[in-house]
Each structure stands twice: as C-alpha cells, then as structure tokens.
Amino acid sequence: MLHSNSQQELGSGLPAFGQATRRVSARMPDTLNELKRLCGQKATPSQYKLASFIESNIPHYDLSSISSSDSAIVGQLQDEWYQVLSGGPGVLILQNFLADQALLDRTNSVFDTIIEREAASAKGDHFATSGANSRIWNSFQKHAEQDPESFVLYYANPWLAKVSEAWLGPAYQLTAQVNVVRPGGKPQEAHRDYHLGFQSNAACAQFPRSMHIASQFLTLQGAVAHSDMPLVSGPTRVLPFSQLLPEGYMSWRDPEIRALFNENWVSAPMKAGDAVFFNPALLHAAGENTTTDVHRIGNLLQISSAFGRPMEHVNNVKIIRACWDRLRALAANEESDQTKACVSALAGGYPFPSNLDKQQPGENGMAPPSEADVLWEGLQKGWDTNQVVTAVEQLKADSMY
C-alpha cells in the first residue's frame, strides 16, 4: 500500500544534492519505502488550477477551447505543465491535442503503408515481447518521405511546440516511433526511459548522481493516440510521482520495485487525437490489450533538449527536400505559430557543434546560424527546394573540420 502525503510536505519534489554521495547505488537502504512515500501523494485541483480534471493522479487539459496563440494563457499552462512534470505527478494528458480526425485517418493510412512495406523484417521492442507489436522506427522521417503534405500538417501543431518548450525550452529535437499493439498484445515491463533508462545497471553506475538527475530533464516522452484507447486496450500504465526517486535509474529492475509498480499503476483512457506526455524518469509501461478487436495505435514522440542526443538519427536534409514546398504553402496561408511549430520539427534549432573558423557568430548573437535560421531565411526570400537544400547542406559542411 502507498501512504498518502501532501505534495507540500515534500517541497518541490526535486531531489536535493546536499551532502549526497557521488555514486548512486543499485539499492539504497530505504529505496522501497521512499518510493512508497513519494507515490503516496495526491494531485489536487488546488495545485493544478488549469487542469480540466484530475483522474488517477493524472491532470487532464482539454485544449479544445484554448487558443494556442493566446500567449497569456499558454504561458500559464506551460508553467503548470512544468510543475506537473518536474515535482508533480510526472504525467499529463492533453485532450484534443490533434483535433483533425481527417488528418489522423490520413496519417494512419501512411503508417499502414509503411508497416506493410516493412513487414518482412521483425521490429523489436525494448521492453515487450518481440512480435507482439507492429512498430515503425523513425516514423518521423518515414512519414515525411511517404506523404510530405500530411507530415507538414501533423507537425505544424502549435500545441506540440508549446508542451515541448514547457519542458525543454526552444531548439528541441524531435523523433517519433509508431507502435501498434494488436488484440492480445502483452504489457511491457515497468521501466524508465532514455537516456539512462536504456543503460544497464553497470553502465548507469558509472554516471555520477548529477547525471541521474539531469537525464530526465533532457527528454520529454509523449504519445499521440491514433485510435481510441479504452482501458481494456491497455493505454500506458504509469506510477505518478515515481520520477522523484533519485536512484530510480538504478532500481527500476529490482523485483520489489516492479512489484510495487504492478500493484499500484494507474492508467487513463484516451480518445483518438489525445496525447500523453511524461517525464522519462516516470515508471511506466505499455498496457495489455485484452480486447479482441481494438488495434491500439500510438505515435510515440521522443523530444530531446537542444543539449542532449536524440535516440534516433534523423536526416533533416531529406525531410526538408520532401516537405519544403508544403512548408512554403503553410507559411503563406496559415498562422505563424503553425509555421514555427513545423520549422522547429523539421530543422535543428541549435547551431552547435560548429566549426567557428568557418561559421562566424551572427549579427544578433554569439552563435552562428542554425538549420532553423536557414529555413526562416528561405521562407522570407522565397527560395525553392534546391536553394534551401543547398544552403542547409553548406551549413552542415561548414560545421565540420
């Protein structure tokens, strides 16, 4: 059983360094009881005033009546989302994150085409039985190359930019993987995510305590529901507040920790177009699909800080080449926040590492131009595809010694 404590009793929930040792052990003397204490907290409406409701300790935010261009309310939402993800439950659901059902249907058709094409080779899952799911690695780039128009519309979603910037700030890096869990699909084991979540205990032990804390602030995990996800279909299982355990990257494989997760996890149903976002240090696992007819489809978003390394390599030049004409059309006809969201998804916004012999700082700062800067220049000057691709390739070449 988890013992309830108010969040106020635990301060911000962020681990304090104090006189803590440099090394993090696989099992601290009171790890299990500390996790029980942390996860005994309750998220309340008084803490998360902008949430539409809180269910199973998961704040839900209905975006259908909120304008992404209302900077005042968006700023308040971002502040609250940061609080949820850092010292709060560690997970939130954005309802009506992508409200265009026709776009979802079209994107699902794109995913079906890619899955059929790749069916000859089995796709593994880091934490589930091989073959239980259909998976598209790097669905981000493959989507762009298969159907640039729907890709641009999909990733021009301003809310994707808002929630990413709430946790990571600007110049984030986006990757995506599609996971389709078929009827009868088994659950994953509870785990933490990338970076340190993908390392063995022996590898994790080589990183000092500061990196165990920093790892969770370099990535935002998310998933967009591309089908309705009733509870019986197994939407993501989470253990709210578990990201607050400092030694969690070393202890999530511990049988007692996993048993605690299995006894106390919660989940929430989602509609197609809803999205869940969570701190990568949150203990979580894809659930079991006990239905006979629901194919649970999620586009898993892994969003990395400008200062981190993404898990997948994305060929931005290929994406820009495929999507430039659609991006130009979007910029000419749509609101600026949609264009900004799409540029942020397509191009690197952080100009380092660089060759400072060749790439001098720009007029307005200490940093040289980034890929995103090149795209903005191309949009302003009306460049065609060859011009913008040539400019981006030259930027990449100039960054190398």
310 belongs to a structural domain = no
One domain for residues 139 and 279: yes
- Pairwise pLDDT comparison (363 vs 263), residue with the higher score: 263
> Does residue 10 register a pLDDT over 50?
no
Residue 311 belongs to a domain: no
CATH, residue 129 = 2.60.120.620
Is 201 or 342 the better-scoring residue by pLDDT?
342
Q: Which of 148-157, 188-197, 237-246 has the lowest mean pLDDT?
A: 188-197
Tell me the C-alpha to C-alpha distance, in Å, between residue 222 and each of 234, 276, 299, 336: 16, 5, 8, 24
Share of the chain above pLDDT 70, in %: 91
Q: Are residues 353 and 268 in the same domain?
A: no
- Kindly state whether residues 288 and 230 are assigned to the same domain: yes
* Residue that terminates a domain, selected from 243, 276, 304: 304
Alpha helices in 190-237 (DSSP H): 201-204, 209-214
Number of domains the chain contains: 2
Confidence at residue 28, expressed as pLDDT on a 0 to 100 scale? 64
* Residue with the two structure tokens 């529901």: 225
- 298 close to 206: Cβ distance less than 8 angstroms: no
User: For the ranges 26-40, 214-228, 374-388, which has the lowest average pLDDT?
Assistant: 26-40
Assess if residue 217 is contained within a domain: yes
> Is residue 337 located within the same domain as residue 277?
no
Identity of the residue numbered 71: S
CB-facing half-sphere around the CA of 196: CA atoms within 13 A: 32
Average pLDDT value for residue range 377-387: 98
pLDDT of 4 > 70? The answer is: no
CB atoms inside a 10 Å sphere around CB 362: 13
Together in a domain, 300 and 321: no
- Strands 237-238 and 296-304 turn out to be unpaired
Q: Is residue 346 part of a domain?
A: yes
* Burial class for 42, CB neighbours closer than 10 Å (0-12, 13-18, 19+): middle
Backbone angles phi, psi at 297, to 5 degrees: -115, 125
Same domain, 208 and 294: yes
In a domain, 51, yes or no: yes
Do both 156 and 297 map to the same domain? yes
294 and 329 assigned to the same domain? no
Amino acid identity, position 374: V
Q: Which residue, among 86, 121, 144, has the nearest Cα to 318 in the 3D structure?
A: 144
Q: What angle do CA 49, 55, 59 make, to 5 degrees?
A: 40
Same domain, 170 and 286: yes
| pLDDT greater at residue 122 or residue 358 | 358
Which tokens belong to 394?
A: 């030259």
Domain final residue pick, 244, 269, 304 = 304
Of 304, 332, 367, the residue that ends a domain is 304
Using the structure block, give the residue that is written with the tokens 């900004």.
340
Check pLDDT > 60 for residue 9.
no
User: How far is 324 from 314, CA to CA, in rounded Å?
Assistant: 16
pLDDT for 321-359, tens place per residue? 999 999 999 999 877 899 999 999 999 999 999 998 888
The pLDDT assigned to 175 comes to 97
pLDDT tens track for 78-120: 999 999 999 999 999 999 999 999 999 999 999 999 999 998 7
| 272 within 8 A of 214, measured Cβ to Cβ | no
Q: Give domain status of residue 16, yes or no.
A: no
Question: Cα dist. 160→84, 116, 149, 154 in Å?
Answer: 17, 28, 18, 10
- With vertex at residue 214, the alpha carbon angle to CA 80 and CA 127, rounded to the nearest 5 degrees, is 90
What range does the domain containing 329 cover?
316-398
CA 166, chain centre distance (Å)? 12
Contact of 226 with 298, CB cutoff 8 Å: yes
Residues 211 and 340 in one domain: no
Confidence of residue 395 (pLDDT cuts 50, 70, 90): very high
The helix (H) or strand (E) run that includes residue 133 is strand 133-136
The verdict on 348 and 282 lying in the same domain is no
Shared domain for 34 and 120, answered yes or no, is yes
Instruction: Flag whether 92 is in a domain.
Output: yes
Q: What DSSP character marks residue 229?
A: B
Query: What pLDDT, on the 0 to 100 scale, is given for residue 328?
Result: 97
**pLDDT at position 14 over 80:** no
Q: Does residue 340 sit within a domain?
A: yes
Average per-residue pLDDT for the chain: 92
Q: What angle do CA 331, 335, 340 make, to 5 degrees?
A: 65
